[in-house]
Structure 1
Amino acid sequence: MLPKRKNTAEMLGAGKEDPKPEPPVRAPFLELTGVAQLPENTNCLTCAADGRFLGLAHTQGLSVWGASSFTPVAEWLEPQLELIFIQMTRMAEMTYLLGTVDDMGVARVFGFHSDVIHLLNIINIMEDVTVRSIFLTFDLHEGGHYGAASVSCNGVVWLEVYQFPVEQWLKELEMVSSQKTDENGTEGSDMKWSPFTLMMKISPPTLPAGKPSDFVTHCLTVDIIRSSGLHKEQSSFGSDAAITKQTHESPSCTQHFLLPCDGSTGDSKANPAGHPVAVAVWWSGSTSLLKYLLQKPLKNKSDVTPMPEMLWPNAKEILCSAVSRCTYLIALGLEDGMVSIWNRQSGAPVSIVLVPGETVAFSSIKFVDNWSVPAQDWDIVGTEPVGMLVSRKNGEIYMVTAGLGLQSSTIQLFQRPEDSRDLPTVAIPVPFLQAVSLIMQRSGKMFLTEAINRETVCYLTLPTSHQTASVYNPIYTLSAELQALFIRGDQESSGLLESQNQSQLFVFYFSQSDIIKPHIDCPRQPTALHHGTLEEICNVYLEQRAQSVDERNKALEQTWRKMQKTASALQRTLRSRKHQKDANQ
């Protein structure tokens, strides 16, 4: 007989009527384990997934440091250049791809090989100043084969998806590194690097002329009318006024790369294992999530607008989103405190959760990959509970646990602060710690909080002479491989005359602390339940349903008896009220 699944809700609590907390016990402080001087105006930090190198975006270019030694390995400099974003991913052993965006919205792609940084391409070269394509976001997929960017030009926003020639770039980097270099280190300056490919250009959906011809078109039409407010003026799809009306503000977009969800490797050329096969997109003000297949553009038809391969409609406007590590699940934070979780393979919702508390808009949602529930609490294949860290704009932070056929639960990790200085600016799950999240506040406070017992694990503090750089947007990076936090700290102002370069890199190594060791997550083998075919999942599901029939019948009988008792009590109450009313008359 399979165990009951109510243990999850009992262990985590429903989140609506939390017991009064015990008096807080002062948490310990985590000791700093490293410090180094940073280049002037270091605006962004990143760390390679393998933990070998740090990437620093700053004034006049970028630098690559050894993540363990904190020493510069290579740099690429250009006068009067201010980089404000950087991302790093490994293309091959000791070869990395870096993507950057400067303060003018220009994106560049670099290759780091043999301790040298090479400029491979400028994505949006501005040939005409009057037609400036500005990058609002830039995302490199792991491995560097694909990239995506939201682009703005003259008030119009769209999404571009790129395919990068990683194999060719690796060969060209090897060729350049084998050549003799001069004393100034200008090797490869005349190298003609292979160009990238623009795979698709996705614009916000527009109202189709005439009546909708299929379900997807119908949903898009309804979505556009609802988000633009056209229904208030004209509800007819065929109205020329409704079709030609344009919103004054162009919507922004959010995208996620999606891996194959069936676990198949596919053809080695058309669909290599580990490469994304689709991209999920939603636009601000929209209620629909769209999925586009990654296909090479047709010859001589680059202007053809790609059509979504799948659409997931939602009852409320989408405010934030996240995908699980295997991209099998997609979580959406909706208006009115709703969280919707979609299963990509079945195309059906896994769970819809109403987060308690004030109906304040969500600001972010993130999957907690190391959040686990005892195995006896999930007994249906493919329905392992998932955890999500949800933040609201008023500062409230919740841990949400849900799963197919399971009672969802919410735990409030952080209450709405009374002082605006205590509003959290960062709330992220720590990938190598069990049910632990990192929270940073505007006041500069940093601490780790544990979700199961709802207690503060420890505080992270910088030296009294320094404060967190940009308390509204801290400059930091978290390395799962090194189990370390790298964060920029600026020396506090001591007078009118102070040095222009007082920024330092502070490092907290979690694995070296006895405070953290009890919370370190033990690596688990990834479950293969999600990667079966639909037929296999259905067969296992039906088999387990047959095995649990006695338990389900027993639970049904108990529920029926409770309903009968409730109905009897209600009837007695009604009869009593009637007798009392007759007596009063």
Structure 2
Amino acid sequence: MSSPKGSQIQKMRLPVYTRKGPLEVPSPSEKDWSKDDEEDYVLKDPDQELDSLPQPYRMINKLVNLLFNRSWEVIEEKEAAREAERSRIQPIVYPPLVESKLNSMPKCMAISQDYVFIGEANGFSIYNLYNAKRIGAWEKLKVDVASIWATDLGSEVLIAPVDEMGVIRLFYYYKESLFLIKAINEVDDASKQTTCVKMEVSLGGDFAAFLLQGSRDVWLDVYKLPKESWLKEVEYPQLTANAKKKVRQLQLNTIDSVTPDNLAMDAYTCFKGDIKLSLPVYIMKIKPPKPVSGTTFKSPLEVFAKIEDSYGLGSGQNHFIKESQWEHQEAIFNASYKKYLDGEWEEEPLSTATFHFLLPSCIISMPTEAKGPSGVACVLGIHWTGSHNFFLYSLHRTLKDKGDPEGVWPCAAPIAVSNRSSCGSYLVLACEDGVLTLWDLSKGFPLGVIALPEGCFCQSIHFLKYFLVHKGQNVYPELPLKSKMKCLVLCTDTSLHLVEAEGTRGPTIRVLAERPVKYLNEIIRAVAPVPALPGMVLLFSQDGSVRLMDVAKPQIVCAFAPPRSYHLVVPWNPVFVVSSHRPCFLLQGDHPDEIEPTHDSRNIQNSIFYFSFEAYPLLKNVLGNVMISQSDFTDHTAFPQTLPLEERCERFLQERVQNLGKNAMKEQEHWNRLRRYSLFLQKREPQ
């Protein structure tokens, strides 16, 4: 007998509709399906009405609906992106001032003084920076020029092109005359040919270093450049015996029968091959640090009895660990990670180096007899791939001297990127863990250590000429400020950061541009500071756009773009150069859209676009007021931080005393209000 409670539960149950008869699996054919009475069929979910369609129409219907829904989502996303794009404030886009058409694709560019050097097929060409006219060329190679450097030596220019075979040559350009100094690494045997990976010339052009790579080795060759002898030899040339009849002058400005007007020669650059200049003096050869190995010393007493110097103590370079200890540690490591070590190992790439010429300072200890004139580099700083140490090598040495460094700066993590300021006073070391160390070389102390945001790692460092914000405008001080620096850090996630340091204050970091999430075409590919515009930097984006950013705001001021007939290859690796003395920059233009890819690339007209900041109305006011005088800078109302320490303390105390009176008045107002409120509450209380 069921309980009353159970009967109530049964009455509350919902009716269940079932089909009559046993369940059967329908046959694949529609004609064999069972004919159920329509009155006995109950549809549980109205949305399942379409599921009653026979196969394969049911599947087709679902696929069509899915395709429609996804298409509609894509349409909505694109429409939202277009609406957001229309609502964004677009900067003013300026076209180039001059377009120089070339008969071959430029591989690289460099600017020095008023000349532009463009690496092309079979050599390089020389152009005038102002009118973009071709004034000369050197075309003696069988391969193209892959990269080119140009260094200002005063009234002369040192040119260093590197061809596709890796051979680097030094040229001397003086008063429209071109002289070949030497091919640094050219050999007769092609199997022994080395490749020049990187080069660096010191400030003033007294020294040069070349990173060379062989089949299984890499090293650094350092030379002293006799620039004073070069100047005397070109002003008073001594002719060779074969050149007594006549100085052979070769005009190397090869022009095709069809030459654009802006390529017309306005001067003749002569190549004087019969005048031999003094060769650079070889100083030293630097190899990567040797891997850590065991020592043969048997006791610490023997170590300190035979040690000659302690330059590497504490850096891992000068250790005294026995070979048996290393073998024991290696056995433990192999046993712990055997399952990971059993697989195939790829051959490690050759180590590469980053090196900088450093000026004399108290942070670099040099012997008294080795000190040179001020303003001339005395030390070469270098760090190798995967190394924790920054090595310092004296430039005042001969080949007989040892190749050991005079100093070692150890870091907590391997050094990934480094850069030196153009003035030579500041150095930044960026480690692989995202930590930056800022050095003031002129004063001899670190400006501080700062870490990039989590997940950001340094890709490149760019120094900004120190500027101030005066009356809402960026200006340069008339006299350079000491122990104050600003630099841009482009991270591997394409975010851009501004790092500032001043004296003993801790460095600060500020995000200028985050990695774009919605607009991936705005990913920053390259960064270039503009020395002519205080606090301005050019950003070269993924889509080929070139934008000018004011880092003090930060905001985009304007943009630059070539004509629409030129398209950009994605991913874009821009070929550009910014003048350090003139308010302009050059940008390479790619092939026009009308050119078919099957055509010969040598017959395609390529272009170099010349952008002058003076020609654009928005930037004229900025160029007119880029410098603040020393009297205005020392005006304490404009820049209170320029006050001496005693006066700054006095002003601070006076401001505090004035604020005490204001605070007392506010205190009295609050007290009176509190008294009135308390009297009001007393009146409301019942007696």
Same-fold status (TM-score > 0.5): yes
Alignment partners' CA distance in 1, 2:414 and 2:469: 30
- 1:343-492 matches, cutoff 5 A: 343-345=440-442, 347-356=444-453, 358-372=454-468, 384-418=483-517, 421-468=521-568, 472-492=572-592
Structure 1 residues 518 and 221: alpha-carbon distance in aligned structure 2, compared to 1, 3 A threshold: same
Q: Secondary structure at the match of 1:447?
A: strand
Q: Is residue 83 from structure 1 mapped to residue 107 from structure 2 by the alignment?
A: no
Alignment partners' CA distance in 2, 1:428 and 1:169: 33
Q: Secondary structure at the match of 1:195?
A: coil
Alignment partners' CA distance in 2, 1:218 and 1:267: 23
Alignment partners' CA distance in 2, 1:138 and 1:287: 22
Q: Secondary structure at the match of 1:218?
A: coil
Q: Secondary structure at the match of 2:376?
A: coil
- 1:130-209 matches, cutoff 5 A: 130-176=191-237, 180-182=246-248, 184-185=250-251, 188-206=272-290, 207=292
Structure 1 residues 96 and 233: alpha-carbon distance in aligned structure 2, compared to 1, 3 A threshold: farther
Sequence identity of aligned pairs in percent? 23
Q: Is residue 522 from structure 1 mapped to residue 622 from structure 2 by the alignment?
A: no
Alignment partners' CA distance in 2, 1:394 and 1:39: 37
Q: Secondary structure at the match of 2:142?
A: strand
Q: Secondary structure at the match of 1:286?
A: coil
Of the candidates 158, 172, 188, which is equivalent to residue 97 of structure 1?
A: 158
Q: What is residue 61 of structure 2 aligned with on the other side?
A: none
Give the conservation status (yes or no) of the 8 Å contact 2:460–2:489.
Answer: yes
Give the conservation status (yes or no) of the 8 Å contact 2:584–2:613.
Answer: yes
Report the more deviating stretch, 457-466 or 412-421. 412-421
Question: What does the per-residue CA deviation read over 1:13-45, in whole Å, with 9 as the maximum and x for residues that have no partner?
Answer: xxxxxxxxxx85321112321111124121111
Q: Secondary structure at the match of 1:205?
A: coil
Q: What is residue 391 of structure 2 aligned with on the other side?
A: 290
Higher share in strand: 1
Q: What is residue 217 of structure 1 aligned with on the other side?
A: 312
Deviation at 1:326, TM superposition (A): 2.6
Give the conservation status (yes or no) of the 8 Å contact 2:356–2:420.
Answer: yes
Q: What is residue 15 of structure 2 aligned with on the other side?
A: none
Q: Secondary structure at the match of 2:121?
A: strand
Structure 2 length as normaliser, TM-score?
Answer: 0.64
Deviation at 1:417, TM superposition (A): 2.6
Structure 1 residues 327 and 46: alpha-carbon distance in aligned structure 2, compared to 1, 3 A threshold: same
Q: Secondary structure at the match of 1:169?
A: helix
Q: Secondary structure at the match of 2:329?
A: coil
Structure 1 residues 130 and 80: alpha-carbon distance in aligned structure 2, compared to 1, 3 A threshold: closer
Alignment partners' CA distance in 1, 2:515 and 2:181: 46
Deviation at 1:182, TM superposition (A): 4.9
Q: Secondary structure at the match of 1:80?
A: coil
Question: What does the per-residue CA deviation read over 1:78-98, in whole Å, with 9 as the maximum and x for residues that have no partner?
Answer: 1422111111123342x3211
Structure 1 residues 551 and 89: alpha-carbon distance in aligned structure 2, compared to 1, 3 A threshold: same
Give the conservation status (yes or no) of the 8 Å contact 1:75–1:116.
Answer: no
Letter in 1 for 2:329: Q
Report the more deviating stretch, 481-490 or 182-191. 182-191
Deviation at 1:343, TM superposition (A): 2.8
Deviation at 1:132, TM superposition (A): 2.4
Structure 1 residues 324 and 233: alpha-carbon distance in aligned structure 2, compared to 1, 3 A threshold: farther
Deviation at 1:220, TM superposition (A): 3.8
Q: Secondary structure at the match of 1:120?
A: strand
* Runs of 5+ unmatched residues, structure 1: 1-22, 237-246, 376-380, 527-542, 556-585
Give the conservation status (yes or no) of the 8 Å contact 1:87–1:140.
Answer: no
Alignment partners' CA distance in 2, 1:153 and 1:287: 24
Deviation at 1:370, TM superposition (A): 3.4
> What root-mean-square deviation, in Å, do the aligned CA atoms of Structure 1 and Structure 2 show?
3.8
Deviation at 1:203, TM superposition (A): 1.2
Of the candidates 604, 610, 622, which is equivalent to residue 507 of structure 1?
A: 610
Give the conservation status (yes or no) of the 8 Å contact 1:259–1:274.
Answer: yes
Deviation at 1:453, TM superposition (A): 1.3
Deviation at 1:407, TM superposition (A): 4.3
Alignment partners' CA distance in 1, 2:273 and 2:134: 22
Alignment partners' CA distance in 1, 2:180 and 2:174: 11
Alignment partners' CA distance in 1, 2:575 and 2:515: 24
Question: What does the per-residue CA deviation read over 1:427-485, in whole Å, with 9 as the maximum and x for residues that have no partner?
Answer: 12221222211110222111011112121111111100013578532111101322101
Letter in 1 for 2:96: L
Q: What is residue 315 of structure 1 aligned with on the other side?
A: 412
Letter in 2 for 1:339: L
Deviation at 1:493, TM superposition (A): 3.3
Q: What is residue 65 of structure 1 aligned with on the other side?
A: 127
Structure 1 residues 550 and 176: alpha-carbon distance in aligned structure 2, compared to 1, 3 A threshold: closer
Structure 1 residues 493 and 297: alpha-carbon distance in aligned structure 2, compared to 1, 3 A threshold: same
Deviation at 1:63, TM superposition (A): 1.2
* Runs of 5+ unmatched residues, structure 2: 1-86, 252-269, 296-302, 332-346, 472-479, 631-643, 657-687
Give the conservation status (yes or no) of the 8 Å contact 1:86–1:100.
Answer: yes
Higher share in helix: 2
Deviation at 1:399, TM superposition (A): 0.9
Deviation at 1:142, TM superposition (A): 4.1
Give the conservation status (yes or no) of the 8 Å contact 1:340–1:352.
Answer: yes
Q: Is residue 35 from structure 1 mapped to residue 94 from structure 2 by the alignment?
A: no
Give the conservation status (yes or no) of the 8 Å contact 1:151–1:158.
Answer: yes
Question: What does the per-residue CA deviation read over 1:366-397, in whole Å, with 9 as the maximum and x for residues that have no partner?
Answer: 2211343689xxxxx98643211001111111
Deviation at 1:252, TM superposition (A): 0.9
Question: What does the per-residue CA deviation read over 1:151-200, in whole Å, with 9 as the maximum and x for residues that have no partner?
Answer: 11122111221112212222332345998545755864344332211112
Letter in 2 for 1:123: I
Work out which of the two has the higher radius of gyration on C-alpha atoms and give 1 or 2: 2
Q: What is residue 426 of structure 2 aligned with on the other side?
A: 329
Give the conservation status (yes or no) of the 8 Å contact 1:362–1:390.
Answer: yes
Q: Secondary structure at the match of 2:232?
A: helix
Give the conservation status (yes or no) of the 8 Å contact 1:339–1:354.
Answer: yes
Alignment partners' CA distance in 2, 1:384 and 1:26: 38
Structure 1 residues 497 and 199: alpha-carbon distance in aligned structure 2, compared to 1, 3 A threshold: same
Alignment partners' CA distance in 1, 2:311 and 2:469: 37
Structure 1 residues 369 and 248: alpha-carbon distance in aligned structure 2, compared to 1, 3 A threshold: same
Alignment partners' CA distance in 1, 2:106 and 2:250: 25
Deviation at 1:365, TM superposition (A): 1.0
Alignment partners' CA distance in 2, 1:177 and 1:470: 52
Structure 1 residues 132 and 496: alpha-carbon distance in aligned structure 2, compared to 1, 3 A threshold: closer
Alignment partners' CA distance in 1, 2:238 and 2:542: 45
Deviation at 1:405, TM superposition (A): 3.0
Alignment partners' CA distance in 1, 2:127 and 2:238: 19
Structure 1 residues 79 and 509: alpha-carbon distance in aligned structure 2, compared to 1, 3 A threshold: same
Q: Secondary structure at the match of 1:217?
A: coil
Alignment partners' CA distance in 1, 2:484 and 2:154: 34
Letter in 1 for 2:285: K
Of the candidates 42, 47, 51, which is equivalent to residue 111 of structure 2?
A: 47
Letter in 2 for 1:45: M
Q: Secondary structure at the match of 2:533?
A: coil
Structure 1 residues 414 and 224: alpha-carbon distance in aligned structure 2, compared to 1, 3 A threshold: farther
Q: What is residue 570 of structure 1 aligned with on the other side?
A: none
Structure 1 residues 518 and 315: alpha-carbon distance in aligned structure 2, compared to 1, 3 A threshold: farther
Q: What is residue 234 of structure 1 aligned with on the other side?
A: 329
Question: What does the per-residue CA deviation read over 1:513-546, in whole Å, with 9 as the maximum and x for residues that have no partner?
Answer: 22123444724689xxxxxxxxxxxxxxxx9489
Number of aligned residue pairs: give it. 490
